[in-house]
Structure 1
Amino acid sequence: MKFVFDIKDELLIWVRDIGRTNGFVIVIRTSDYGGGRKRQRIYLACERSGKYRSRKKLKDDSKDLLKQTGTKKCKCPFDLNVYKLKTNDKWILNIVCGLHNHLATEHLQGHSYTGRLSANEKSLLVDMSKSLVRPKEIHITLKQRDALNMSTMKTVYNVRHRYRVLQEAGRSQMQQLLGELVKHKYIERHRCEEGSMTVTDLFWAYLVSLDLLRTFPRALIMDCTYKTNRYQIPLLEIVGVTLTHMTFSVAISYLQIEVESAHARLKRQLGSSQTTFEISFEKIHCLLELQHIQVKASFEKKSERANLVGVDVAACGCVLRHTHGLSCAHEIADYMRQGHSIPLSNIHVHWTRLTICVHNLKVEKLELSCIVELEMILKRFNESAIATQLGMLKKLREIANPASTFVIKPVVKPNPHRGHKKIDTSCRRNLCAFELVDDGHDSQSTLAYSQSKKKRALKVFDKKQKVKTKTYRKRTSLPSAYAGDFLPMLIPFIKLMKDVDGEENCGFRAIAGLLGLGENDWVQVRRDLLLELNNYRDEYVIR
């Protein structure tokens, strides 16, 4: 039986698809490109054709035994012959033997050969990985595009890893990161540990973000995010605000400092806490580009609105004037009654910009020269010792080509908290302030009261029989331990001190604990505070 095909690739795809549908894997056994009077030929066979051939030979008179190995080869007779016609470019498929001497494979998922991805599938996988699509979703997309796709999650991970290795091209992680920063025209600074080349601080900023900063320099928010990398270095993010209430990242920095709170959007973008600097940069770069698109889109959609509430100042309240620097309701009503437009002098400069002020050095025609600095460097180089000259050469080489840097990544810090923490599961509420502190007593009396209570509890425990009980680790609060942190003049007026967990809601936790609600009831305290501000907004407006 013979079949005719116009293209060789079409023939191979058809044969392999038919084989996978029936549970067999067809491979190219040998091929002959021809030449002269010979025609091009391709010999196809089953993957289980032939017999196993050992790649290692034992030495003569050796007592070593061959390692026990398994093989899929079973001398399957299935054979196909493909050749190209000389008269035209058509390909002929000739079935020499269409029988197999083994059972068909029921499941081909994860097969070493059928699980391979085509060039188009690999290109799609790489593009989706650049768009920060998760491997699971990439795998689902490949399955939806091709019902005969037999790849597994391991295949996706292997292709991603192979692409990353090709991108690095033998460079270290820091060389790859600095090279990408230069490629995307970032402003980058870094510092190393004294006496070594280990990076301790890393900073980068996008040029478009700096243009936005020059346009809207009035409000900046700085906050740190923890657990974003395997080096346990806090990630500092500087955020600006536009007139359309859109936020944009000004700069990103890894600093060995501790600042409280976190940015939820950046945390969601970074995801895992075991990423490297290089992977963090890829995710942050995508986040910055999306932010800039959203900010520009908000400029186009923003339009002015005016609400007519009359010219009564008392009814207006002038909240918008005091908080945002814009004309309030009664001012707009007065302008409309007079038929005048709102003067720009009556609007804060923050609200008069709907474009990004691009900092263009070519327009300013700045003439900069580094001849004097180079002469100073050359003079110092000639006067320095060999060790200093080598250090200067390293720095100059790094400035000229950041991808050739010799700095190394920080050491991965292990997780100090292993296993699950034991917590206090007691349902008893904490005592209120008025239950612990009486009039005329200070923190020392509270401490003595708690100690006497513990002694009474120990006496009762000694009288009981020996019973196995669970032991939990509980944070002990010593009110007198923090007295030295306050001014001496304030200590006589302090009735109670409470230590709470140090995180972004520590203020609400402290209030909840002092009110007797319990430290974990800080959510209720926050809700009550917001309700108070909403109900009596006029009382809290800054005049």
Structure 2
Amino acid sequence: MLGCEKHGKYVPYRDPDLVEGTRTQKTECPFRLKGRPMKNGIDRDWRLKVMEGTHNHEPARSLLGHNFVGRLNSEEKEQVEKMSKSWVPPRKMLLTLKENNPLNLNTISQIYGACKRLRKSLRGSLTEMQHLLKKLDGGKYVHFERHEPGSEVIRDVFWAHPNAIKLFNTFPYVVIMDCTYKTNKYKIPLLEIVGLTSTDKTYSIAFCYIVNEGTDDYVWALECMKSLLADQAMLPKVIVTDRDLALLSAAKQSLPNTSHLLCLWHINKCVLAKCKLYVGTDDFAELVMGKWGEVVDAATVEEFEVQWMQLFNMCKDKYNNFTSYCSTTWLVHKEKFAKAWTNHVMHFGTTTSNRAEGAHASLKKMLRDCKGDLATSWDASHSLTCNRHTEILASFERSIHRIDHIFMCPFYTNIRGFVSNKCLQLLDAEHIRMKSYGRCDCLLRETQGLPCGCELAGYERIPYEAIHPFWKRLSWEHVPEPVADTISNHICGMNHGDMQPEVEALTHYFSSLDTGEQSMVRRKLQAIYCPESSSLCTPEVQIRSKRTLKANERKPPKVKAIGSLTRDPSGFEHVDREIKEAKKASQPPKKKKRVKKSDTSYFMGHFPSFFHPYIHTVQNVEDDGNCGYRVIAALLGLPSGEEGWSCVREALIDELERHRGLYDEMWSKHVVNALHSRLTLTPGHPATEDKWMQLPEMGYLVATRF
């Protein structure tokens, strides 16, 4: 039986009363065809019978938008699947399909539906957490999970790519940590831990979803990060974060011997915002911020104290709030950002968290919206991590086999091709600076681990031994595979590949439990070797509902779209916005420039220059619909009041009536009728042609041009 797509009647499959926002194409169209197979020798033919050959609706003007004809065929489904795995946006998928087949009738909604069905088919019957754990296990990720006490709701998830672990063991010197938001529908913050390579490339060490940004959560994430190191003696030397008090406390507990730096960019922005708020935006505020820059850039502790006292004395009389904010909020952490202390830390040029912020931006470009689940976030981070590893490997090869011409001199012979190009660039810049100024502050040696200007001055060729090992590492292949429980293995003296002692201890422990406890242990072991059987579940989605405002309640400010990845404004951005709005409110409204009637130059500009010598006076008449009569009245010197323009109008009509026979009867009739209606002629009217009339009694010419 073949029928029209509009055949039948819509039947709701959920709530029959819920009809708002739903649509149907069913019109109970009676069109029917009946086909019956018919044996005819070897071939099998069909006999078609028209049961009803009429429709109860107009034929479709176009097949676009009809779901049946716009279905994806098998080849198109395969293309959409490949492009979806490559994170191609749906709009570009549709363009690609239409370029390959000009007769394609797909729409963007069908592409979205195909992508949704693909994701659902990949997950199958697994839950979101089971699907995520299966992906982590399939990608050979090192991952850890924690759940809420007394429940199976996930609390924290930590994962690290196997190649990222190798990079971390190769370059463990500097670690940057920062949280980003709006990456998933559960609104769980994502902690991203990044590092840098000898070629000045950023790599992601690990990702961690933490439900609560508390000290305990950060301590757990840092302990997981430490377990990735094969040698626990190679802990990070520097960690860079923003001023998160919980993170500061966690770093002090987990990494007590690591230098902790605060992001200098965020500090300067916050101080600038408070300066605008307490001091103002005048020249004195700029002087205050300049002095703050001198405080931060002070080379020694003594100079730092002197510069701070000068700034304090500048503001102590009128701006105590500003100096109190600086001293209580930032100067208590002065060792973490002021150059008098950070210049003695080997941070390899990393004093801000900008690398982590850039990693957040790259991840959000891949995500496209914040309505996905944790598995979607993992897909994006996995693709991004693989791309970064490819670029890092390429940068290693470029440093080995591609050398800039300026480094082909004998001065770099011993290190050329054995250190990164970034190292050579830093050395060359220091060498040039030393030749220009002749003074060395030894910063390059203390902060970068490279020969400073005074050392370079004594070399004919830079020795290989003078370079820090960080700059010599151009591969990660020599790093041994890390083990998750490295600390306990070192303590017990066990071989990393031998699991027999643990198996025996687990068997003994399992036999001592009762039936219920054995079932719990069995489920935990099964979740390790078979992650798709895990009983962990995701938290509930926080739904933002609309509600009616109360009588005394103000309307909330306009918020961003639900799926927006744009971060919320920072504190200093709120201050900038408030200051801008206050300035706008204090300024008087701009008045439109009104043209004065005596402004001759304004009207003279509308006439050609060769007319100017013949123009004696300019008068701007009132534009009330009678301006044409007022112009003639002003030209004749008649009174400018109400009687002036009416006299002109009546005299003109009388003159035309007396000379009616001199002109074409039809033309004059239209002119007189038009004058009676204030000369409101329309284009195409017989009277709209260019006509000139000489009125000898009054001595002037009248022209009509429309």
TM bin, normalised by shorter chain, reads 0.5 to 0.7
Structure 1 counterpart of 2:377: 280
Is residue 177 from structure 1 mapped to residue 156 from structure 2 by the alignment?
no
* Separation (CA, whole Å) in 2 of partners of 1:252 and 1:376: 32
Structure 2 counterpart of 1:196: 151
* Separation (CA, whole Å) in 2 of partners of 1:278 and 1:248: 21
The residue identity in structure 2 corresponding to 1:384 is L
* Separation (CA, whole Å) in 1 of partners of 2:64 and 2:539: 40
State how 1:525-540 maps to structure 2 within 5 Å: none
Deviations 1:494-524 (A, max 9, x none): xxxxxxxx988546878x89xx967999xxx
Tell me the CA shift for residue 245 of structure 1: 1.4
The residue identity in structure 2 corresponding to 1:217 is P
Deviations 1:141-191 (A, max 9, x none): 222221211122221122222222221221111111111111110011101
The residue identity in structure 2 corresponding to 1:272 is D
The residue identity in structure 1 corresponding to 2:96 is T
Structure 1 counterpart of 2:87: 132
Is residue 289 from structure 1 mapped to residue 386 from structure 2 by the alignment?
yes
* Separation (CA, whole Å) in 1 of partners of 2:41 and 2:535: 55
Alignment equivalent of 1:309, drawn from 424, 429, 432: 432
Asked if structure 2 preserves the Cα contact closer than 8 Å seen for 1:52 and 1:71, the reply is yes
Asked if structure 2 preserves the Cα contact closer than 8 Å seen for 1:76 and 1:101, the reply is no
Residue 377 of structure 1 aligns to a residue in which SS?
helix
* Separation (CA, whole Å) in 2 of partners of 1:472 and 1:96: 65
Residue 368 of structure 1 aligns to a residue in which SS?
coil
Structure 2 counterpart of 1:528: none
Is residue 118 from structure 1 mapped to residue 77 from structure 2 by the alignment?
no
Structure 2 counterpart of 1:187: 142
TM-score (norm 1): 0.59
Alignment equivalent of 2:450, drawn from 301, 326, 336: 326
* Separation (CA, whole Å) in 2 of partners of 1:323 and 1:508: 32
Which of 111-120 and 190-199 deviates more? 111-120
Asked if structure 1 preserves the Cα contact closer than 8 Å seen for 2:166 and 2:479, the reply is yes
Please identify the structure whose Cα radius of gyration is greater: 2
Is residue 346 from structure 1 mapped to residue 466 from structure 2 by the alignment?
yes
The residue identity in structure 2 corresponding to 1:326 is L
Structure 2 counterpart of 1:382: 511
Which of 367-376 and 191-200 deviates more? 367-376
* Separation (CA, whole Å) in 2 of partners of 1:145 and 1:82: 40
Residue 432 of structure 2 aligns to a residue in which SS?
coil
Is residue 407 from structure 1 mapped to residue 531 from structure 2 by the alignment?
no
Greater helix share, structure number: 2
Asked if structure 1 preserves the Cα contact closer than 8 Å seen for 2:34 and 2:49, the reply is no
Alignment equivalent of 1:151, drawn from 103, 106, 110: 106
Tell me the CA shift for residue 410 of structure 1: 1.0
Tell me the CA shift for residue 273 of structure 1: 2.1
* Separation (CA, whole Å) in 1 of partners of 2:469 and 2:39: 76
Asked if structure 2 preserves the Cα contact closer than 8 Å seen for 1:84 and 1:92, the reply is no
Is residue 270 from structure 1 mapped to residue 367 from structure 2 by the alignment?
yes
Asked if structure 2 preserves the Cα contact closer than 8 Å seen for 1:509 and 1:520, the reply is no
Cα separation, partners in 2 of 1:93 and 1:248, compared to 1, 3 Å: farther
Structure 2 counterpart of 1:61: none
Structure 1: state its 5+ residue gaps.
1-28, 30-45, 57-67, 422-468, 475-501, 522-543
Which of 225-234 and 122-131 deviates more? 225-234
* Separation (CA, whole Å) in 1 of partners of 2:29 and 2:158: 55
Cα separation, partners in 2 of 1:195 and 1:519, compared to 1, 3 Å: farther
Asked if structure 1 preserves the Cα contact closer than 8 Å seen for 2:71 and 2:106, the reply is yes
* Separation (CA, whole Å) in 2 of partners of 1:404 and 1:385: 22
Tell me the CA shift for residue 79 of structure 1: 12
Structure 2: state its 5+ residue gaps.
12-24, 214-241, 245-352, 400-420, 483-493, 558-566, 584-706
Structure 2 counterpart of 1:434: none
- Residues paired across the two proteins, number: 376
* Separation (CA, whole Å) in 1 of partners of 2:136 and 2:571: 38
The residue identity in structure 2 corresponding to 1:134 is P
Alignment equivalent of 2:475, drawn from 339, 342, 355: 355
State how 1:92-103 maps to structure 2 within 5 Å: none
Cα separation, partners in 2 of 1:420 and 1:284, compared to 1, 3 Å: farther
Alignment equivalent of 2:31, drawn from 71, 74, 87: 74
Tell me the CA shift for residue 82 of structure 1: 13
Asked if structure 2 preserves the Cα contact closer than 8 Å seen for 1:215 and 1:357, the reply is no
Which of 255-264 and 214-223 deviates more? 255-264
Deviations 1:346-383 (A, max 9, x none): 11221111112454459xx9563222222222222222
* Separation (CA, whole Å) in 2 of partners of 1:392 and 1:95: 66
The residue identity in structure 2 corresponding to 1:128 is M
Deviations 1:395-454 (A, max 9, x none): 1111121111011111112338x5899xxxxxxxxxxxxxxxxxxxxxxxxxxxxxxxxx
Structure 2 counterpart of 1:458: none
* Separation (CA, whole Å) in 2 of partners of 1:360 and 1:398: 27
* Separation (CA, whole Å) in 1 of partners of 2:42 and 2:113: 40
The residue identity in structure 2 corresponding to 1:74 is F
Deviations 1:59-102 (A, max 9, x none): xxxxxxxxx9634552479999999999xxxx9999999xx977
Structure 1 counterpart of 2:191: 236
Tell me the CA shift for residue 284 of structure 1: 0.9
Residue 309 of structure 1 aligns to a residue in which SS?
helix
Alignment equivalent of 2:498, drawn from 355, 369, 374: 369
Cα separation, partners in 2 of 1:325 and 1:519, compared to 1, 3 Å: farther
Deviations 1:248-304 (A, max 9, x none): 111000012338695332333333222201111111110111111111122223334
Structure 1 counterpart of 2:397: 300
Residue 188 of structure 1 aligns to a residue in which SS?
strand
Cα separation, partners in 2 of 1:81 and 1:216, compared to 1, 3 Å: farther
Cα separation, partners in 2 of 1:95 and 1:391, compared to 1, 3 Å: closer
The residue identity in structure 2 corresponding to 1:105 is A
* Separation (CA, whole Å) in 2 of partners of 1:472 and 1:95: 65
Structure with higher RCO (Cα < 8 A, 6+ apart): 2
Cα separation, partners in 2 of 1:517 and 1:176, compared to 1, 3 Å: closer
Structure 2 counterpart of 1:254: 209
The residue identity in structure 2 corresponding to 1:286 is S
State how 1:442-461 maps to structure 2 within 5 Å: none
Asked if structure 1 preserves the Cα contact closer than 8 Å seen for 2:142 and 2:162, the reply is yes
The residue identity in structure 2 corresponding to 1:287 is L
* Separation (CA, whole Å) in 2 of partners of 1:211 and 1:83: 71
Cα RMSD for the two superposed structures: 4.6
Is residue 107 from structure 1 mapped to residue 62 from structure 2 by the alignment?
yes
* Separation (CA, whole Å) in 2 of partners of 1:202 and 1:295: 26
The residue identity in structure 2 corresponding to 1:182 is D
* Separation (CA, whole Å) in 1 of partners of 2:501 and 2:191: 36
Structure 2 counterpart of 1:539: none
Residue 236 of structure 1 aligns to a residue in which SS?
strand
* Separation (CA, whole Å) in 2 of partners of 1:82 and 1:137: 48
Structure 1 counterpart of 2:96: 141
Deviations 1:78-127 (A, max 9, x none): 999999999xxxx9999999xx9777632101223211111111011011
Is residue 225 from structure 1 mapped to residue 180 from structure 2 by the alignment?
yes
Residue 407 of structure 1 aligns to a residue in which SS?
coil
Percent identical residues: 30
